[in-house]
Amino acid sequence: MNEALERKEKLSSPEEIPLEVNQIPEAPQKRIFIGLLAVTCVILGGLAYFLWWVPNVGLRNIHPYLPAILAGILGLAVLAIVAGSFLLTLTIIAGRDFLLSRKLRGAVVKVLFPLLVVMGKVFGISREKISHSFVAINNQLVLAQNIKAAPSRLLLLMPHCLQNYDCKVKITGNVENCESCGKCPIKDLLEVSHKHGVELAVATGGTIARRIVVQKRPKLIIAVACERDLTSGIQDTYPLPVYGIFNQRPYGPCFNTGLPLAEVETAIRHFSDNSQP
């Protein structure tokens, strides 16, 4: 019992962690994402060449310039993919918004992540590892945009599993119902939200989370969740920027989970513009 309490205190430690644009706290292995992206570019290039080569003889019989036209179209498509991948990699490494980081994040969220999940299966890389890389890349692109918002336009979106399993108080409708007994991180999160003037909401699932986002209409979300909920939430709320933080599961998934509170508070400070009302 004492060991469990010590683990809980360690999970809720308020020790501050600096958040820099080019350094994400406890950043997952972004190399997995970049490596799969490079392999995908090579495969797409080979596929484009194959699509050009197969009908090459037939197209020449129709018109002598058709093979060259098709090669040009496919070449431009491959060039656009490689250029976008290079720009994405450059933005990730440098941590700066060189060009079109918002559109690049859209490509990562809507196209590359589902594609790389398939590529990961081919190469035996688990979805969990790819999800960690995806969230790290997403966070890097959000940081590169240098977004600043009034604290009231920031939303802390938390999973219901942070609440103590035996607690009888309903906080999903109104987190202020929390009685601050200190048996779970909700008490500390409430104190942080009051301290910085940011909205705090707790969701039981994706449907409730989407409803909260529609009601609150934030400028940016700082979300804590597991791999599955965090990746699906980032995809569902795009183009709204989401800074993702993985929860901690000392007792397994969906049961008395914890969170790195210092990282949450550091993210609030990073994105807050206290000059705005």
Residue 114 confidence (pLDDT): 83
Residue 133 confidence (pLDDT): 86
Residue 13 confidence (pLDDT): 42
Residue 5 confidence (pLDDT): 42
Residue 52 pLDDT > 80, yes or no?
A: no
| Region class of 271: left (phi > 0), else alpha (psi between -120 and 50), else beta | alpha
Residue 90 confidence (pLDDT): 75
Amino acid at residue number 246: F
Report the SS3 class of residue 240: coil
Residue 58 CA to its chain's centroid (Å): 46
- Longest CA–CA separation in the chain, Å: 81
The confidence band for 27, taking pLDDT boundaries of 50, 70 and 90, is: very low
Cβ contact 255:9 at 8 Å? no
Cis ω on the peptide bond leading into residue 55 (within 30° of 0)?
Answer: no
Tell me which residue of 131, 135, 117 sits closest to 36, measured CA to CA. Answer: 117
Tell me which residue of 121, 80, 117 sits closest to 232, measured CA to CA. Answer: 117
Residue 73 confidence (pLDDT): 85
Report the SS3 class of residue 32: helix
**Residue of 79 and 214 predicted with greater confidence:** 214
**Residue of 99 and 112 predicted with greater confidence:** 112
The confidence band for 15, taking pLDDT boundaries of 50, 70 and 90, is: very low
Cα–Cα distance, 53 to 110 (Å, whole number): 30
Average pLDDT, integer, range 119-148: 87
Report the SS3 class of residue 54: coil
Q: Domains in the chain and their CATH numbers? A: 2-20+147-271 (3.40.50), 30-143 (no CATH)
Instruction: Please report, rounded to a whole number, the percentage of residues in the chain having pLDDT higher than 70.
Output: 81
| 220-225 vs 154-159, strand pairing mode | parallel
Residue 25 pLDDT > 50, yes or no?
A: no
- The overall average pLDDT reported for the chain is 82
Cα–Cα distance, 246 to 187 (Å, whole number): 19
Amino acid at residue number 208: I
Residue 277 confidence (pLDDT): 55
**Residue of 97 and 273 predicted with greater confidence:** 273
Amino acid at residue number 153: R
Q: Which of 76-80, 153-157, 221-225, 230-234 has the lowest mean pLDDT?
A: 76-80
Residue 18 pLDDT > 50, yes or no?
A: no
The most confident of the ranges 55-59, 63-67, 170-174 is 170-174
Cβ contact 36:130 at 8 Å? yes
Average pLDDT, integer, range 168-194: 94
Long-range contacts of 269-272 (CB under 8 A, 24+ apart): 269/19, 269/196, 270/19, 270/143, 271/147, 271/148, 271/149, 271/154, 271/220, 271/222, 271/243, 272/148, 272/149, 272/150, 272/151, 272/154, 272/196, 272/198
Q: Which of 43-57, 144-158, 180-194 has the lowest mean pLDDT?
A: 43-57
Cα–Cα distance, 94 to 272 (Å, whole number): 22
